Amino acid sequence: SAVISQKPSRDICQRGTSLTIQCQVDSQVTMMFWYRQQPGQSLTLIATANQGSEATYESGFVIDKFPISRPNLTFSTLTVSNMSPEDSSIYLCSAVGGSYGYTFGSGTRLTVV
């Protein structure tokens, strides 16, 4: 299966600032996704990262708050903008493609103070 490198693994940020999370896959994949996992909760799909075009956002998530890039088939970034304490969560990257199923990064644990 593909291996995903996600960084940073954790960060503590001041409210009002932005954080960009990077996701690198070791092989070409068809689809890449970003999820949020709030404390004690399940994973919620934020968006599908589309290569070379705007991401497709799920209900409740907007591009101004969570801009996403995917410049090629193996790399994507998620930015959490103008952060507030409510954005404190684990953010996970996922990818699917080829003969394997879904693979997940190890997550970025974000704390906003």
Partner 1 sequence: SQQGEEDPQALSIQEGENATMNCSYKTSINNLQWYRQNSGRGLVHLILIRSNEREKHSGRLRVTLDTSKKSSSLLITASRAADTASYFCAMEYGNKLVFGAGTILRVKS
Q: Which of 48, 51, 79, 81 forms a contact with partner 1 (CB under 8 A)?
A: 48
Q: Which of 22, 27, 44, 77 forms a contact with partner 1 (CB under 8 A)?
A: 44
β-bridge mates for residue 13, sequence order: 112
Coil, strand or helix: which one is 55? coil
Cβ proximity to partner 1: between 57 and 75 the closer is 57
Report CA Rg, the chain. 13
Task: Give the shortest CB-83-to-partner 1 separation in angstroms.
Answer: 21
Q: Which of 11, 31, 57, 65 forms a contact with partner 1 (CB under 8 A)?
A: 31
Please classify residue 41 by burial: count the beta carbons closer than 10 Å to its beta carbon, then call 0-12 exposed, 13-18 middle and 19+ buried.
exposed
Using the rule CB under 8 A, is 76 a contact of partner 1?
no
**Which among 98, 90, 77, 94 is positioned nearest to 32, based on CA atoms?**
94
Binding residues for partner 1, rule: CB under 8 A, are 30-31, 33, 35, 41-45, 48, 59, 92, 94, 96, 101-102, 104-107, 109
